Chains A and B, each alone.
Chain A
Amino acid sequence: MTAFLGRRLVESLIVLLVMSFVVYGLIGLMPGDPIDLMVTADPHLTPADLVRLKALYGLDQPLLERYWNWLTAALGGDLGYSRLFALPVEAILLPRLANTLTLMGLAFAAAALIALPGAMLAARRPGGLADGAVNLAAFAGISLPPFWLAILLIMLFAVALGWLPAGGMGSGSLASTARHLALPVLALTLASVGGHLRYLRASLIEALRADHIRTARAKGLSEPQVIWRHALRNALIPYVTILALDFGTLFSGALITETIFGWLGMGKTIYDAIMGNDYNLALVGLLLATTTVLLANLLADLAYAWLDPRVSYR
């Protein structure tokens, strides 16, 4: 177990390292460079100043050397500053990571709570009427463009009914935050519930085929008892694993939701940073997002072992 965990940790670190190099290289290919931006901001700068500034920021060195300098500084705890906010990037990113995790956690829980009864209904008679309806709903869910769904929700709840704010963070009080969270959470829930339904339905049907289910039915247990006590536990194992591995997709969905509703999370921050040429913020934000996703995957592996004692890790 420890050996397995160690190997997975090393693998995750390698992926993170490769990602950091690729993203660092990509960021260098973005339009405009920081020195040009300074020139536009201050027309008094002379060409000599430019050379001096480039040397000061190390921009005259080759890519590999710059990357190495950045990496050693980052590992030493110096992640640099954001151009847009004039703050250390971690001071901006950490509260926003909390906002994103709140949004994702609530949407994940809501989607699971909808999927559970839906999948149970469908799995009772595969191919039946209820199964067809659940299947149709699941297909509709995964085929909805998430940003369009968000716009439709704004049209219904903010424009037509006027019940909820169309976006923003609120004043900070609990009631206001809840009102501002309602639509983003609903949008992200509906965008991910299709996947939940499909996975849970499939693994529940698979679990109900097992021999011990036949035994349970034969000894006279009621159908709810069969499902709750005997099938659901086994069905949850693949479901939880797949969903945790799908964390990256959920993060992508959160980016869209946050951008449309103006919810200050990681996704919106990365998007705004790229659009506003704040490359250091974008770089660290992307790496923080990747780290979060890799950690979730690692947790999924552990949860798998915890839920299923038969799994042994070499």
Chain B
Amino acid sequence: MSGGPIQERAPLLAAEAAGAAVPGGSPAAAFRRRFLRHPLAVGALALLLLIAAASAGEPLVEQWLGFGAEQIDLLARSAPPSAAHPLGTDELGRDLLLRLLRGGRVSLGVGFAAALVAATIGTVVGLVAGYLGGRVDALLMRLVDSVIALPLLPLLIVMAAVDLTKLGIPQSVADSGSASLWRIVLLVALVGWTTTARLVRGTVLSLKAREYVRAAEALGAGPLRILRRHILPNALSPVIVATTLSVGNVILIESVLSFLGLGIQPPLPSWGNMLTGAQETIWSAPMLAVWPGLAIFVTVIAANFLGDGLQDALDPRTDRR
């Protein structure tokens, strides 16, 4: 999806806007036309960008409120919303809005990073399995089936509880905040790669029988060149769709692990660990339990709508109407 063809097709898009149906068109124009047909997906994209921008702009909000995200106000614990604290404060007197935005930075960052790692693993496994076929394919797909079938959450809990120093990682590294971030990214990615692997394998299976791939083979191109130059670019649509859909799933898993005390460790806030104490405070400060969960819910549902819209827009076979 380069920017070029969109420019060239501008007159066509204008014609479309005027009500003329344009069958076909350049791939980029067709993609835009199909994507814009999904108001929910467009809204979801806007909402995700808004949440990301607000989370990234957290320092600005700190300046505006004149209050730090870690700053504790013992005189205003579990305070209701006010001009000083738009969403009120938590049980330690920290500003809830700032904590939510900072938690968003962590949750979104971990979500996107883990989805990218998962997509990379899944793409490589799918390319290898689909292109090589035979025993390698059978073995890898058995592996995928097994991972999908396992009760993953208890397994993740065990892996999250592993003591990194026993793996030979120095104490200072294991205790640092970034180690806990990377651990959760890798753990969640271990779960999320299977869907991508399946989709990519299926696409590769159909692509490798096409004439242009066989022509490249006949011209003497090696397997790596064929995979990189001829197959991967055409298999990108399922990768993009699977990655988008897995962002939501990954954010959910991260929040569950953080909620159970095995993911992002306080004082670093994430939407999941902000809810850890919420079960005790629902009697005194119920809104503390509402906002972080709402943030997770809205982000995940937006990612799912976006993935659904992208699927329709990128896959010409799903032309439904």
Q: Distance in Å from the Cβ of A161 to the closest Cβ of chain B?
A: 13
Chain B residue contacts of A289, Cβ below 8 A: 151, 154
**Interchain CA distance A281-B159 in the complex, whole Å:** 16
Interface core residue of A127, A152, A259 (most chain B CB under 10 Å): A152
Query: B154–A145 contact, CB under 8 A?
Result: no
Interchain residue pairs A-B with the least CB separation, the first 6: A148-B293, A252-B153, A143-B301, A31-B163, A143-B300, A251-B151
A residues 263-292 touching B (CB-CB < 8 Å): 267, 270-271, 274-275, 282, 285-286, 289-290
Contact of A245 among B148, B259, B293 (CB under 8 A): B148
Contact of B161 among A154, A155, A274 (CB under 8 A): A274
A147 within 8 Å of B (CB atoms)? yes
**Interchain CA distance A30-B275 in the complex, whole Å:** 25
B241 within 8 Å of A (CB atoms)? no
Q: Which residues of A contact B (CB under 8 A)?
A: 11, 15, 19, 23, 26-32, 127, 139-140, 142-148, 151-152, 154-155, 159, 245, 247-249, 251-252, 255-256, 259-260, 267, 270-271, 274-275, 282, 285-286, 289-290, 293-294, 297
Interface core residue of B146, B149, B155, B255 (most chain A CB under 10 Å): B149
Query: A148–B301 contact, CB under 8 A?
Result: no
Can you name 14 A-B pairs with beta carbons within 8 Å? A23-B158, A28-B166, A30-B163, A140-B301, A145-B293, A148-B275, A152-B290, A159-B283, A267-B153, A267-B154, A271-B260, A274-B157, A274-B161, A289-B151
Query: B321–A151 contact, CB under 8 A?
Result: no
Contact of A271 among B154, B159, B248, B255 (CB under 8 A): B154
- A154-B151 CB under 8 A given contacts A140-B301, A147-B275: no
Contact of A148 among B142, B286, B297, B320 (CB under 8 A): B297
Query: A286–B297 contact, CB under 8 A?
Result: no
Nearest chain-A residue to B163 (Cβ)? A31
Chain A residue contacts of B152, Cβ below 8 A: 248-249, 252
Nearest chain-B residue to A23 (Cβ)? B158
**Interchain CA distance A122-B321 in the complex, whole Å:** 17
What 0/1 pattern do residues 272 to 291 of B give for CB contact below 8 A with A?
10010011001100100110
Query: A29–B162 contact, CB under 8 A?
Result: yes
B residues 240-270 touching A (CB-CB < 8 Å): 248, 252, 255-256, 259-261
- A294-B248 CB under 8 A given contacts A143-B301, A155-B286: no
Query: A293–B162 contact, CB under 8 A?
Result: no
Chain B residue contacts of A143, Cβ below 8 A: 248, 252, 297, 300-301, 304
Chain B residue contacts of A159, Cβ below 8 A: 282-283, 286
B31 within 8 Å of A (CB atoms)? no
**Interchain CA distance A169-B304 in the complex, whole Å:** 36
Query: A256–B293 contact, CB under 8 A?
Result: no
B131 within 8 Å of A (CB atoms)? no
Nearest chain-B residue to A15 (Cβ)? B146
Q: Distance in Å from the Cβ of B166 to the closest Cβ of chain A?
A: 5
Q: Distance in Å from the Cβ of A287 to the closest Cβ of chain B?
A: 10
Contact of A248 among B148, B293, B305 (CB under 8 A): B148
Nearest chain-A residue to B305 (Cβ)? A139
Query: A286–B259 contact, CB under 8 A?
Result: no
- A282-B158 CB under 8 A given contacts A127-B320, A151-B279, A259-B260: yes
**Interchain CA distance A154-B286 in the complex, whole Å:** 11
Q: Distance in Å from the Cβ of B74 to the closest Cβ of chain A?
A: 26
Query: B321–A127 contact, CB under 8 A?
Result: yes
B167 within 8 Å of A (CB atoms)? yes
**Interchain CA distance A80-B15 in the complex, whole Å:** 75
B residues 130-164 touching A (CB-CB < 8 Å): 142, 146, 148-155, 157-159, 161-163
- A29-B279 CB under 8 A given contacts A148-B296, A293-B150: no
Contact of A155 among B167, B289, B304, B320 (CB under 8 A): B289
Chain B residue contacts of A155, Cβ below 8 A: 282, 286, 289
Query: B154–A154 contact, CB under 8 A?
Result: no
- A286-B154 CB under 8 A given contacts A145-B256, A248-B149: yes
Query: A145–B150 contact, CB under 8 A?
Result: no
Q: Distance in Å from the Cβ of B149 to the closest Cβ of chain A?
A: 5
Chain A residue contacts of B283, Cβ below 8 A: 159
Q: Distance in Å from the Cβ of A230 to the closest Cβ of chain B?
A: 23
Q: Distance in Å from the Cβ of A267 to the closest Cβ of chain B?
A: 7
Contact of A19 among B150, B260, B305 (CB under 8 A): B150
Chain B residue contacts of A245, Cβ below 8 A: 148-149
Chain B residue contacts of A146, Cβ below 8 A: 256
Contact of A145 among B166, B297, B305 (CB under 8 A): B297
- A260-B279 CB under 8 A given contacts A27-B158, A143-B304, A155-B286: yes
Q: Distance in Å from the Cβ of A177 to the closest Cβ of chain B?
A: 22
Contact of B259 among A147, A152, A285 (CB under 8 A): A147
Nearest chain-B residue to A250 (Cβ)? B151
Chain A residue contacts of B159, Cβ below 8 A: 26
Query: B150–A144 contact, CB under 8 A?
Result: no
Query: A26–B162 contact, CB under 8 A?
Result: yes
**Interchain CA distance A144-B300 in the complex, whole Å:** 8
Q: Distance in Å from the Cβ of B282 to the closest Cβ of chain A?
A: 5
Query: A151–B278 contact, CB under 8 A?
Result: yes
Q: Distance in Å from the Cβ of B70 to the closest Cβ of chain A?
A: 24
Q: Distance in Å from the Cβ of B296 to the closest Cβ of chain A?
A: 5
Q: Distance in Å from the Cβ of B294 to the closest Cβ of chain A?
A: 8
Q: Distance in Å from the Cβ of B277 to the closest Cβ of chain A?
A: 11
List 17 other contacts, CB 8 Å, given A139-B305, A151-B289.
A28-B166, A30-B158, A30-B161, A140-B301, A143-B248, A143-B300, A152-B289, A154-B282, A159-B282, A247-B149, A248-B152, A252-B154, A255-B154, A260-B279, A274-B157, A275-B161, A286-B155
